[in-house]
């Protein structure tokens, strides 16, 4: 018989419309790196803790400075 794992729902920011996997080099890791984004928000990097489905923000891209001219 196959064991089923029941995890709590993933709580993403309300503006998230797209999730992109990050570099997840450790096969036995306890977290997964991912980026959440939307057309109006630059990507925000998170680590997803697999045991708890907790998202921990790692970094956010800063908007490009406005051009003066």
More confident residue, 59 or 45: 45
- Summarised one tens digit per residue, pLDDT across range 1-29 is 677 767 678 888 999 999 998 888 788 89
Task: Say if residues 48 and 67 touch (Cβ distance below 8 Å).
Answer: no
Q: What is the pTM of this model?
A: 0.70
Residue 34 in this model has a pLDDT that exceeds 80: yes
C-alpha to C-alpha distance for 21 and 34, rounded to whole angstroms = 4
- Summarised one tens digit per residue, pLDDT across range 37-56 is 999 999 999 999 988 889 99
Residue 66 in this model has a pLDDT that exceeds 70: no
């Amino acid at each position: 018989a196959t064991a089923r794992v029941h995890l709590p729902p993933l709580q993403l920011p309300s503006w998230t419309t797209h999730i992109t996997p990050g570099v997840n080099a450790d096969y036995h890791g306890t977290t997964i790196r991912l980026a959440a984004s939307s057309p109006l928000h630059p990507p925000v990097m998170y680590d997803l803790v697999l045991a708890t489905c907790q998202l921990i923000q790692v970094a956010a891209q800063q908007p490009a400075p406005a051009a003066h001219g």
